[in-house]
A and B are shown apart, each in its own frame.
Chain A
Amino acid sequence: DTAVSQTPKYLVTQMGNDKSIKCEQNLGHDTMYWYKQDSKKFLKIMFSYNNKELIINETVPNRFSPKSPDKAHLNLHINSLELGDSAVYFCASSQGGDYGYTFGSGTRLTVV
């Protein structure tokens, strides 16, 4: 069983479209995160939810909206996609500071 799973793995879409990425974890962790990795491999945190409550909301365009229906799921919806949104998006979960994060395998989003 995959600990943190993301779908889809690859997503190619046109500018202006709306798309969603789904994430699920079966580790029983309370906290989930979305990170964006750009073309230079830089990882930047976007959002975090703790038991369905938003606790981190970095400087991200409001076209990005996270949703957490329960503590095992954290989805990312992106409206009006732009070329600059092309990146790899990683979902992660954690049970506290001294445990580190467990990452999903990533979703490569390409906007054309």
Chain B
Amino acid sequence: AQSVTQLDSQVPVFEEAPVELRCNYSSSVSVYLFWYVQYPNQGLQLLLKYLSGSTLVKGINGFEAEFNKSQTSFHLRKPSVHISDTAEYFCAVSEGGATNKLIFGTGTLLAVQP
């Protein structure tokens, strides 16, 4: 069965600094990988996804993530964060197929400080 681990429950960072949010997954088959963002009191919005091909994927709001199959990781990065990036970030994995079930990590709160 697939699973997702987000080791950091909270990442504090100063505005304009770079940030990396870590995600590791476990699956016995090929997977699709996603990062979602949840702003306070809102639903989840897709940031980016990895399906196949180039291991570096770019998403919205200046975020990017790199798929590393040997390390089973899909870390999210941004070179310079803004106050408005403060939100909960969720890594998720799907094995596709008939059910396309999306399994989420426990989330990482990115807290950007001025």
With a cutoff of 8 Å between Cβ atoms, the chain B residues found around residue A102 in the complex are: 46
> A95's closest neighbor in chain B, by CB?
B100
Partner of A90 from B44, B51, B95 at Cβ < 8 Å:
B44
With a cutoff of 8 Å between Cβ atoms, the chain B residues found around residue A61 in the complex are: none
Task: Give the residues from 84 to 112 in chain B that come closer than 8 angstroms, CB to CB, to chain A.
Answer: 88, 90, 94-104, 106-107
Asked if B100 contacts A31 (CB within 8 A), the reply is yes
Q: Is the interface of A mostly helix, strand, loop or mixed?
A: strand
Instruction: Tell me if A1 is interfacial: C-beta within 8 Å of chain B.
Output: no
With a cutoff of 8 Å between Cβ atoms, the chain A residues found around residue B63 in the complex are: none
Q: How many residues of A contact B (CB 8 A)?
A: 26
Asked if B42 contacts A105 (CB within 8 A), the reply is yes
Task: Give the residues from 57 to 102 in chain B that come closer than 8 angstroms, CB to CB, to chain A.
Answer: 88, 90, 94-102
With a cutoff of 8 Å between Cβ atoms, the chain B residues found around residue A43 in the complex are: 44, 90, 104, 107
- Contacts A97-B32, A103-B44 hold; do A56 and B106 have CB atoms under 8 A apart? no
5 contacts between A and B (CB under 8 A): A41-B106, A50-B99, A96-B100, A103-B36, A103-B44
